[in-house]
Structure 1
Amino acid sequence: MNVSPRQLRMFLALSESLNFSKTAERLFMTQPALSKAIQDLETTLGLPLFERTTRSVRLTPGGARMATLARSIVGEFETGLQRMQSSAEREALQLSIACWPSLAYVVLPDVCAAMERRFRAPQVTVYDCANSACIQRLLDHQADFALASVAPSHPDLVYEELLRDRFVLLASGRWRKQVRPRMHLEELLALPLITLTDASTAMRYMSAAYLQRGIEYRPKMQVDQATTVAGLVKKDVGVAVLPYLGVVPILGMRGMRGMQMCEIVDGPLRSVGIVTRRMGNPTSVALAAMEEVRAITQQMMARHAGWIIPPSPGTVRQGEKPRR
């Protein structure tokens, strides 16, 4: 049976007014169009709903019973629409971000605070995990976007580079005497290096930098979390090799005074950016969050000039054409 909610609303409106011209005016339609809609409904139901004379319109006994049913159906439909609307509003306020833990520490608190100001009760989920896990979360549609690093040529993703950060050396205690403010990659080989595991971009960038020199990068220790690196450095187990953004949370921790941070002069520059899926449209909340990320990273580059570097001149940003 092909009966639309709109037809039922016309039928109910007419059953209350029992006047075609007034009902048509109320529904912003012509009287002939209303008459045709009612006739089509009667044909579909196989039942006369109204008795019409030149002077009056009234419901048939069957029409009266159908009006009771129609009222119930339309009521349930309206309730269902309201539930759907409420659910859609809640969904529209959902925001999921995949991000490196160190980057989450320095960027996402400000982003989340901005979302609270701009939207009513947004529901934010942050997956703070390694780079590869961030990308997988995005590909699995578990995140609206990722703050990570990925090859710009990835077939399913769009990468917008926001900044590049330098690699630095972090030393404490007796190892401070073994380092200088500016160090070279080859000088690091004589030190007990501590870095993150192979799942991190830090390890990938450093390995590639040494590989270009024909050297295998073999640190003394590898761990998953930068906070663990900090504890090991504090206890003089070795010296840390980390991107600058990975060091910022460590320097802010209690008990980390006295750390020596050194620039690795010829070290790699780690690319950091917004990663989105090539197919699909971000929600308004996700777009607003990405806008805040761009603003915050611009501020970071100003505050940490020299350590955090602007994007490569040839970077293609989302929505822009490649520069010629």
Structure 2
Amino acid sequence: MAVVVAGAPLLVGVMRQVRARLEGRAGAGVLQPWRDLRKLARKQPLTPRGTSEVFRVAPLLMVSTTLAVVAVAPFVTTASVPSPGADLFVVVALLTLGAVALALAGLDTGTAFGGMGASREVTVLALVEPTLLVAIFALSVPVGSTNLADIVIATLHDPGRVITPASLLAAVALGLAVVAETGRLPVDNPSTHLELTMVHEAMVLEYAGPDLALVELASAMRLSVFLGLWATLFVPWGVASDASGPALLLGVVVFAVKVTVLGAGLSAGEVFLAKLRLFRVPELLAGSFLLALLAVAASFFLA
């Protein structure tokens, strides 16, 4: 949990720096997200008039649900993962709860931007969450368990699972779902405030000071969690099978390296992508859901 909290802003900084270098710019540096969080935390908290507790609780709920996922997911080791909490449906439900809380906060402001962003966010969620469930479920069928730790252990014992048709289809489907969930190109552009394109930024325009710092930290943590989830399920090597000190240290280092490499690759790919028109996004996400369904079918018939 400490690694994700401390490293998530650094991951965002690395991704911004990679994109800046590829675009011919110097970039603000890897530590700039932490400087921004420190600056926001020192400002006076401001709350828009007319908002309820939903607006104030949403940032805390985003951070807490993401931390709960980090606590139960087998990112570093499979030895200390609680079986009920590491279930596929629990993890996806917790991640969805944080996104829904932010969407409700956008509606709570009563502004046109907040309502527009919340509407777009819920539309994306309605298409992405089934893809997450079905894609990971395809990996759980041969294992006979929806526990993430069991899926990782089975892949470590049988590395050939990674190159099966079901696993490859699920990897592509989950990758597209991760891009949509984290608001990256081509679904959303995290570096713009144009009303015709923004989704996530439209919901957080009314936040300021420490509340905005929590929202930005939660968003960075969710990015780390989704990338870590993809890496753990499809590239599980390095995940410790026990809770010894050296094994945990190696697991932390490998987890950080995998997430950083995935983040840098995602950022590099965004340089060559343009944002899709909003009415074309459901077509992309429906395609990812179809790939997830094909992965489930392949796991049943080609096992």
User: For the superposition of Structure 1 and Structure 2, which TM-score range results when normalised by the shorter chain?
Assistant: under 0.3
Report the TM-score, using the length of structure 1 for normalisation. 0.20
Report the TM-score, using the length of structure 2 for normalisation. 0.21
Structure index of larger Rg: 1
Which structure is higher in helix share?
A: 2
